[in-house]
Structure 1
Amino acid sequence: MRKVDRTEAAPEDLSEKGGQELLDAITHFEGNPANPESFDFKRYKLKSVKDALEKMFHGKCAYCETFYASSQPLDVEHFRPKGAVAGESDHRGYWWLAMVWENLLPSCIDCNRKRNQVTPKGDTSQVRLLEETAGYSASATVGSGKKDSFPLAETGVRASKRTDQITAEKALLLNPCEDDPKLHIRYFFDRERPVSFVLANELAGDPDFTGADGLSSKGATSVHVYGLNRLRLVQARTRLLRRLEFLADLAIDLKLLAEKLKGSADPDIKRAGVQVDGFGDRTLVELIEMCAEDQPYSAMAQSWMREFQERLEAVV
């Protein structure tokens, strides 16, 4: 998950038609209808909304950064769920935000819908995963996916009607357009056996979102609810990680060989060294391009790149 600035303005037809839908919803939900659950929200499904969200997130899920376009339809996800809140049977959901641009995100099916996912075993809050990496290949079936989940910090106050202040809620789920995920989650890399897990980050000075273990409860909750360590997702990130590691080793070997060849007194060998150096530079460019924001799992790749740069400087 990476920070994304909501630079795209609300599509014009969402602004135009969403206003009328809100008025209809107010009449429906505040008029004590016989069947309050029957309201049919339509405006968030507009093609212009989907197109704008895809553009803003480069066709990737807002939560796990998987390209969804080639394998599954886009789910327009309501960050604050529109129809219900899990565990609160008397809550009608944040229906007044169903057509609000700032509440809409693109999501893959696995992050958005409740599904049983095979997940590597470990503490479900991700607190002890580092100590348990030796057994990461063990797995269990875990229910994950956001759907109508929207947990709050203990100090938060749930908004139950449109006049309530949602800023007082203190949501325990990360919104990539409002939060900086790097403050709450981090990526763990095992270079001996390349594998990529998402962990809750250490968080200090924020009593609302810091657990007793000193880790971000917002990060831990998001990892669990969104299923960011579900097996297939870990496997997809790990495939990318292994390719990054392969190219990194290749780049370092090429640069070291180039320096050795360029130090030769033989002009032909020296020219060969320049060519090898160029191959090393091209490999480094490929690594940089793989970490671009429009690429899958870019937050993980950029985190890896920061570590690789330190490794590169130490040997080249």
Structure 2
Amino acid sequence: MKNKKTSTGGLSLIFIDRQEVVEMLPNDWKAKAKSITDTLLATQSDAARKKLIGENEDLWRSIKGVLAKVSHDKCWYCETADVRSDNAVDHFRPKGRVAGVASHQGYWWLAFDVKNYRFACTFCNSRRHGDGGTTGGKADHFPLLDGSQRAGGPSVSISIEIPMLLDPCDYVDTTAIWFDETGQVKVNPEVLAVDDNASDRVCISRDIYHLDHVRLIEARKRIFLGVLDMCDRADNALLTYKSTQDPNARTLFRDSINSLKRMKNRDAPYSSVAICAVKGYRNSSPSAKLVAEA
């Protein structure tokens, strides 16, 4: 077995196209969301707004299935799929309050904006203690870069903000995290060329999304090493076929390549980890190079 040297580069988190979600929503849902938002904008009292949001929270819950379908039932933050978990519709910008910012009333005007929704597992969405002493969960956290302005109401565009949390709906953000053979979260150094704060954002996102949960690390490690082993199997089969012309070796090589491709598919378990493994191994493995560049 060859020495498994891996490098960095490439996509690491699944990218969720918000426009795809919007197009899947029924028109009556969009109309109702707009109507409630219009009412919110016309409401002057914080208490009245909170009451209105609370009375209509079933609206975002009603499209949880749509959000799940886009990601093949996997959490948008950590890519875990668990049919036993009561996965939630997370408001990326918290609707009621912002942790650590006592003066902020939350991004209430985005409470019914589907582009502010993220499909999240329990450990990414809620504050939990995990194995190995880890703690995480997004809850009401939405930290910004030091010095960044924060939108305090609908009259101020959220584009003034520089979030420290990586967003699965932002393609550049999805390239910032890299996974290695230990299953740990790393920063992709190639992203530093376009985001000076990538290292800090990866660290903060790891902690808040609870991406260092021990069981999650172990699951990523199994996928990563499984990909490397499959690459070795394909490489060995290819060498055997070239030297012997054994048709069984040819079949094994092609079947192994097909398996690698399936491991990278968006519906596969922790496909982002498989993508990292293939790309990181491409300089050592002809099979990984073939699949990475296909």
Q: TM-score, normalised by structure 1?
A: 0.78
Query: Which residue of 1 is the match for residue 213 of structure 2?
Result: 230
Letter in 2 for 1:154: D
Q: 1:200 aligns with which of 171, 174, 187?
A: 187
Separation in 2, partners of 1:236, 1:244: 13
Letter in 1 for 2:141: S
Q: 2:99 aligns with which of 86, 91, 94?
A: 86
Letter in 1 for 2:225: R
Query: Which residue of 2 is the match for residue 305 of structure 1?
Result: 278
Work out whether residues 14 and 43 of structure 1, in 8 Å CA contact, stay in contact via their aligned partners in 2.
Answer: no
Work out whether residues 80 and 103 of structure 1, in 8 Å CA contact, stay in contact via their aligned partners in 2.
Answer: yes
SS in 1 for 2:130: strand
Separation in 2, partners of 1:86, 1:52: 28
The structure having more radius of gyration, on CA atoms, is: 1
Higher relative contact order (CA closer than 8 Å, sequence separation 6+)? 2
- Are residues 1:167 and 2:154 paired? no
- Are residues 1:9 and 2:1 paired? no
Q: Post-superposition shift, 1:8?
A: 2.9
Separation in 2, partners of 1:179, 1:258: 40
Unaligned runs of 5+ in 2: 1-12, 290-294
Q: Post-superposition shift, 1:77?
A: 0.9
Q: Post-superposition shift, 1:243?
A: 2.2
Query: Which residue of 2 is the match for residue 294 of structure 1?
Result: 267
Query: Which residue of 1 is the match for residue 144 of structure 2?
Result: 152
The residue correspondences of 1:1-316 to structure 2 (distance < 5 A) are 1-6=13-18, 7-9=20-22, 11=25, 12-28=27-43, 30-31=44-45, 33=47, 37-39=50-52, 40=54, 41-47=56-62, 49-68=63-82, 70-118=83-131, 139=132, 141-189=133-181, 195-202=182-189, 203-204=191-192, 210-211=196-197, 216-262=199-245, 273-313=246-286
Q: Deviations over 1:212-257 (max 9, x none)?
A: xxx5322221112111121010011112223223322222222222
Q: Deviations over 1:278-299 (max 9, x none)?
A: 1121011111111111212111
Work out whether residues 281 and 288 of structure 2, in 8 Å CA contact, stay in contact via their aligned partners in 1.
Answer: no
Separation in 1, partners of 2:79, 2:108: 27
CA distance 1:231–1:90, change in 2 (3 Å): same
Letter in 2 for 1:201: N
CA distance 1:96–1:3, change in 2 (3 Å): same
Work out whether residues 18 and 100 of structure 1, in 8 Å CA contact, stay in contact via their aligned partners in 2.
Answer: yes
Separation in 2, partners of 1:71, 1:217: 33
Aligned pair count?
A: 271
Q: Deviations over 1:109-131 (max 9, x none)?
A: 1001111123xxxxxxxxxxxxx
Work out whether residues 158 and 166 of structure 1, in 8 Å CA contact, stay in contact via their aligned partners in 2.
Answer: yes
Unaligned runs of 5+ in 1: 119-138, 190-194, 263-272
RMSD: 2.3
Q: TM-score, normalised by structure 2?
A: 0.84
Q: Post-superposition shift, 1:178?
A: 2.1
Letter in 2 for 1:83: G
Name whichever structure is richer in helix by fraction.
2
Letter in 1 for 2:254: D
Q: Deviations over 1:166-207 (max 9, x none)?
A: 111111111111242354221222xxxxx211112335456x
Q: Deviations over 1:72-101 (max 9, x none)?
A: 122111110111100112221111101101
After superposing the two structures, state which structure 1 stretch, 11-20 or 148-157, moved more.
11-20
Letter in 2 for 1:247: M
Work out whether residues 247 and 287 of structure 1, in 8 Å CA contact, stay in contact via their aligned partners in 2.
Answer: yes
Q: How many percent identity over aligned positions?
A: 27
Separation in 1, partners of 2:288, 2:85: 43
SS in 2 for 1:9: helix
Separation in 1, partners of 2:28, 2:255: 45
SS in 2 for 1:180: helix
Work out whether residues 62 and 107 of structure 1, in 8 Å CA contact, stay in contact via their aligned partners in 2.
Answer: yes
